[in-house]
Amino acid sequence: MPVNDMWQRWVLIPSWQRQLLLGVFLLFDAYLGLIHGAGVIGWSGLFTGELKWLALTVEMTAGGLVLVRIFLSQAGQGQRWKLFSVVATPVLLAVLAFGVLELVLSGLGRSATINFNLASIGSSGLYWAAAYLSVAIGLTLTYKVQRFANFAQAEMMIFGAYVALTLMWSDRFFPISDAPKDGVLNWELMIWAGISAFVVTGLVGLFVDRIVYKRLRSKLAKPQVMMIASLGIAMVIRALLYMRFTARTFRFVPDRDWKLATSKFEVQTERLQVHLGDRVGMPIVEFAENVTPYGFAFTRVALIVGVFGAVLLLLILLHRTRLGRQMRAVADNPDLAASSGIHVERVHGTSAFLSAGLAGLGGALLATVLPINPELGLSLLLPAFAVIVLGTVGSIPGVIIGALVVGMVRAASEPVLIGAGNALDRPTASGFAEVMPFIFLVGVLLVAPQGIGHAIHQWNIERIRQRRRAGPAVVPSRARGAYDPLGRRSEETNNGATYLDRFNERKELAFESVGRAISTAWEVPGSYLTRLSVAIKSVGAAGSGFVSGVRIRPGKMIPIDRETERGSWIAFGIFFLLLIGIVWFLPSVTNLTKTLQVARIVTLVGIFGLMAFSLNLHTGLTGMTNFGVIFFVGLGAVTVGLLSAPVDTNGYGWAPWQATILAVLISAVAGWLLVYPTARLRMDYFAIVTISLGEMLRISLQAEPLLRAGTVTSAIGISQFARPLEDWWEAGPSVGTGNLLGLGGPAPYVVFLAVLTVVAVLAVWFLLNTVLSSPWGRILRSIREDEEISQHHGHNILTHKAASLALGAAVAGLAGALWAWLNTSIFPDFMNPVRSTFLVWAAFIVGGRANNRGMIIGAFLIVIVEFLFNVMVVSRGNTDLALHNVVGYVDTAFSWLVVDVGGRIWSALSISQAFPKGTVFAELSHLKLALIGCVIVGALLLSSKGLLPEIPGRPKRPVGIAPDGFDEEEKAG
């Protein structure tokens, strides 16, 4: 068999050579396609028009990425090369991007001019770096010491901004802010705003840590639980800010002179013009003439200097003081730290104070540059995650470099996107600048899976090793050469090294003294902080004492063990009936509206339930932290929408069922493919890659014309797509159903959709249960528990993970199709992670990990909470609701809080700024947000395993013999 023979030979080639062949083929084929109109993509006839060159671009980029990866993996022998490869990665990626652009443009016969204004890019890069860093530094600190991703960090930052605003409106400072311009910069308000934002926000962080995270820590809650708790905290803080300051936008003016257009440094700059594509007689790169100087606004300088200065002080604090050593000790091993006499809880408190405080300081400084409203934090949170991953989670020097790199990439990409976008008829391409941090991060992770901080760490180890080796000075240099792939180190570099060491000594001496100064300065507030935390603790203890005083201990009355199959079903039944009871009692007007309401609830529960199933398979069972549920859902929804939209409006006119099958398949394939590049990633990196993919798809929906259908192409969004069996339903069964339900007319389509959803959920549930009770389910669980052991047992981890991802993604794709049909249109906002991924995660954690029954309960809960609290929201304007009077009490209480209690802290001006009509009232939609946050946090504090915990594969050990930590909740109770 010649084919078999060839195959055998092919398999025998080393895998990197196979990949090399693949990469070269892809590049060559794409080149043929772009320049000569030949190649596989052209011949296949699948792609026409714009799709063709887009596909070619993707092909070429993929080929380039494969080559870059081979280069790095083959060249990366030895430490020095590793470091070099990490540095080279961004450069190589940039070269690749420019190369692809150049070929695409010349293939299309167009030309693009890209203007790099060096000073502008530098300033903008530093600005983004500072903005991202002020969120990311707290994230890193929390990650380092407390080991969870704190989603409330961005809200802390905005809190700091509002502290600055409140200070600005105070009687003492408002005259400074309001003074007419006089040409003199007034620093007073600026400095006080920074200090008070740091302290007040820090105290809020400390308070939250004591009230929530400390309790979760004492229950040994998983990082995922802490993370979702922080999500709840973020909602509560955002809601409180909304209620106190309303959704209005405010500007922080430290003094009018700070904000004038003339308040800037004039920076001389050069403008680099890059001409790509079909250039006629133009050089590729040239310097433009007559460049006006760049205006670097004072407020931006203040932000950059302030944030980077604070981070440097933090570095010194961490590395040169006792407190810092304690923090690092706790970060490394809390038990060991505790045993060597470190007060672990106090260190946690300090870390919480510092993380929140730094974010607050950043917020106050950012408020001088940007108008402030409570939503601002969210747009900085996700890029901040990208920053900490790029810098290796938990590494502070890494995060600084990460922020600089991401900031610079973002700033430098904007001119490219503008220039190339205009040339390719995609002016909206500049919208992609927002996701550049993610695109870049995904690119880097694909080739260097461990981030920058890891490289720094390795380099440090190597440096210390070399110093040790150089120390005795008897090691012959030839022997050392054996370690060094670059050959012998010359005398010069040796001299350089000793010089560097001496320099380092000096540097350390200087740092030591600064560190000593900081630690002395720290001691005074530190002692107050301790006292304060004791006070908070006693308040908290009193509170919990009160709560446990009134707690009924029904365990003895109704013994249901939710960790057995039977108990779990019973608990599921009780919860389910309860929730149905709530649905029953939800007010409505007529039969028709009640039917609509119930159908909507059922459909939403089904959609969120399917999404939770998918997340449960990925995260709860296989142990892959998937933060991109909405990516797969969006993929399904967009595919269904695009394919079944009418042909004359940019769609493809498929039947809904065909589109659904393809959508589910596409999601599944995306899931399967995702595993290969991400297999080597740590799980928290995997989370960031998935969340990044979701954001990329969302921005693509905004910016890519090919993803628009249903009306004219200038209109964002996909609409007018066909829904399954809509005509059939309206022609026949709807009338009968309407009569049956007593609606006085045909039943609306959503009733049919609800039935369809129920069928889908039951089918998927049955399928998952069947699959998971098979040996494969056990393999997945074993991968979750310990990858290496299951590998040792002969399982191919990669394939199993891929299959799990694909299956879950398919389920999510189905949920996306249902969602598209429910909404009747697809707009980018539906992919907002706050309203999708985070909600599903809340359902997943609250419902109970690794238990599909819990998924349904969790989904039901998050859907019903929205409806339930909406009853409260509508009662403001609705005089015939009983709750209407309650609104009056809420308003009175809130007004009392803001005016009488809060009035002692803030000025009357700060109240009238937010409530210009003089009446202070509580916006119930925002109160709703706070209550939902409270429900999430409360549910986790009550039961950190969720309402329906996983049923252990083995029966429980008898009580009494259980080793420590076996049943956390039992102990904590």
Partner 1 sequence: MRSTKTLVLLLMVVAALSLAVACGGGDDEEPTTAPAAAVATATTAPAAQPTATTAPAPQATVKLIKIGLLSPQTGPIAQYAPGFEDAGKVAISEINEAYPGFKFELIVVDSGCDGTQAATAAQSLVDAGVVVIVGAACSGATLGAIAVAAPAGVPMVSYASTSPAITTADDDGRLFRIVPSDAQQAVALVQVVSGAGSSNPAVLYMTNDYGAGLGDNFELNWSTSLCTQIGYDPTEGSYDASTLAQSVVDGGCDSVVLMSYATDGAAIMEALLAQGFAGSIFGADGLADAAFQESFTDMAALDRLIATKPRPGEDSAVKSDFESAYAAIGGAEGAIYTHETYDAIKLVAAAIVSDPDGDLVAALKKTGINYVGASGTHTFDAAGDVLGTGYSVCEFDVSGSSVGFSCPKIWTADGGLTAN
Site for partner 1 in 560-579 (CB under 8 A): 560-563, 571, 574-575, 578-579
Interaction of residue 229 with partner 1, rule CB under 8 A:
no
**How far is Cα 918 from Cα 940, in angstroms, rounded to an integer?**
39
> CB-wise, 792 or 917, nearer to partner 1?
917
155-187 in b/e form (b: 16+ CB < 10 A) is bbbbbbbbbbbbbbbbeebbebbeeeeeeeebe
> CB-wise, 323 or 604, nearer to partner 1?
604
Interaction of residue 889 with partner 1, rule CB under 8 A:
no
DSSP 8-state secondary structure symbol assigned to residue 271: E
Interaction of residue 969 with partner 1, rule CB under 8 A:
yes
Print the binding letters for residues 797-826 with partner 1: x by CB under 8 A, - otherwise.
Answer: ----------------------x--xxxx-
Query: If DSSP codes are grouped into helix, strand and coil, which group holds residue 858?
Result: helix
> CB-wise, 260 or 284, nearer to partner 1?
260
> CB-wise, 355 or 568, nearer to partner 1?
568
**How far is Cα 194 from Cα 198, in angstroms, rounded to an integer?**
6
Task: List the interface residues with partner 1, window 273-312 (CB under 8 A).
Answer: 288, 292-295, 297, 300
- Of the candidate residues 19, 422, 450, 895, the single one contacting partner 1 (CB under 8 A): 422
> CB-wise, 415 or 777, nearer to partner 1?
415
Is the CA virtual torsion 653, 657, 660, 664 positive or negative? Answer: negative
- Of the candidate residues 544, 597, 791, 895, the single one contacting partner 1 (CB under 8 A): 597
Interaction of residue 372 with partner 1, rule CB under 8 A:
yes
Interaction of residue 910 with partner 1, rule CB under 8 A:
no
Task: List the interface residues with partner 1, window 462-501 (CB under 8 A).
Answer: none
From residue 201, alpha-carbon distances to 153, 614, 961 in Å are 11, 37, 45
- Of the candidate residues 222, 279, 600, 795, the single one contacting partner 1 (CB under 8 A): 600
Query: If DSSP codes are grouped into helix, strand and coil, which group holds residue 890?
Result: helix
> CB-wise, 501 or 969, nearer to partner 1?
969
Kindly state the smallest distance separating residue 104's Cβ from partner 1, in Å. Answer: 19
- Of the candidate residues 304, 352, 358, 947, the single one contacting partner 1 (CB under 8 A): 947
Interaction of residue 418 with partner 1, rule CB under 8 A:
yes
269: left (phi over 0), alpha (psi -120 to 50) or beta: beta
DSSP 8-state secondary structure symbol assigned to residue 209: I
DSSP 8-state secondary structure symbol assigned to residue 554: G
Kindly state the smallest distance separating residue 716's Cβ from partner 1, in Å. Answer: 5
**How far is Cα 103 from Cα 28, in angstroms, rounded to an integer?**
12
- Of the candidate residues 212, 237, 253, 850, the single one contacting partner 1 (CB under 8 A): 253
> CB-wise, 293 or 736, nearer to partner 1?
293
CB 146 within 8 A of CB 348: yes
Interaction of residue 321 with partner 1, rule CB under 8 A:
no
Kindly state the smallest distance separating residue 83's Cβ from partner 1, in Å. Answer: 32
286-301 in b/e form (b: 16+ CB < 10 A) is eeeeeeeebbbbbbbb
Q: How far is CA 462 from the centre of its chain?
A: 33
Residues near partner 1 (CB under 8 A), total = 145
Print the binding letters for residues 606-645 with partner 1: x by CB under 8 A, - otherwise.
Answer: ----------------------------------------
Burial of residue 127, with CB atoms counted within 10 A of its CB: 0-12 exposed, 13-18 middle, 19 or more buried? buried
Contact window for partner 1 (CB under 8 A) among 316-324, 656-664, 709-717, 888-896? 709-717
Interaction of residue 431 with partner 1, rule CB under 8 A:
yes
Query: If DSSP codes are grouped into helix, strand and coil, which group holds residue 266?
Result: strand
Kindly state the smallest distance separating residue 253's Cβ from partner 1, in Å. Answer: 6
Residues 6+ apart with CB under 8 A from 185: 255, 257, 258, 263, 298
> CB-wise, 353 or 572, nearer to partner 1?
572
**How far is Cα 588 from Cα 594, in angstroms, rounded to an integer?**
6
Task: List the interface residues with partner 1, window 517-556 (CB under 8 A).
Answer: 551-555
CB 638 within 8 A of CB 708: no
Burial of residue 850, with CB atoms counted within 10 A of its CB: 0-12 exposed, 13-18 middle, 19 or more buried? buried
Task: List the interface residues with partner 1, window 84-143 (CB under 8 A).
Answer: 115, 117, 120, 123-124, 127-128, 131
Is the CA virtual torsion 718, 723, 727, 730 positive or negative? Answer: negative
| Tokens encoding 122 | 């530098």
Rounded to a whole number of angstroms, the distance between the first and last alpha carbons of the chain is 69
Task: List the interface residues with partner 1, window 186-215 (CB under 8 A).
Answer: none
> CB-wise, 703 or 859, nearer to partner 1?
703
Interaction of residue 592 with partner 1, rule CB under 8 A:
yes
Task: List the interface residues with partner 1, window 640-699 (CB under 8 A).
Answer: 699
Interaction of residue 830 with partner 1, rule CB under 8 A:
yes
Contact window for partner 1 (CB under 8 A) among 194-202, 223-231, 253-261, 508-516? 253-261
Q: What is the dihedral of CA 847, 851, 855, 861, to 10 degrees?
A: -30
- Of the candidate residues 175, 281, 775, 918, the single one contacting partner 1 (CB under 8 A): 918
Looking at 551-628, list the stretches that DSSP marks H as alpha helix, in order from N- to C-terminal side: 565-585, 591-615
Print the binding letters for residues 746-785 with partner 1: x by CB under 8 A, - otherwise.
Answer: --xxx-----------------------------------
Interaction of residue 711 with partner 1, rule CB under 8 A:
yes
Interaction of residue 922 with partner 1, rule CB under 8 A:
no
- Of the candidate residues 379, 490, 538, 892, the single one contacting partner 1 (CB under 8 A): 379
Burial of residue 265, with CB atoms counted within 10 A of its CB: 0-12 exposed, 13-18 middle, 19 or more buried? middle
Output Rg (C-alpha) for the chain, integer angstroms.
30
- Of the candidate residues 18, 80, 147, 248, the single one contacting partner 1 (CB under 8 A): 248
Contact window for partner 1 (CB under 8 A) among 245-253, 481-489, 533-541, 662-670? 245-253
Interaction of residue 943 with partner 1, rule CB under 8 A:
yes
**How far is Cα 396 from Cα 404, in angstroms, rounded to an integer?**
13
- Of the candidate residues 69, 275, 618, 876, the single one contacting partner 1 (CB under 8 A): 876
Number of residues that make up the chain: 973
Tell me which residue of 448, 440, 449, 419 sits closest to 93, measured CA to CA.
440
> CB-wise, 218 or 823, nearer to partner 1?
823
> CB-wise, 104 or 571, nearer to partner 1?
571
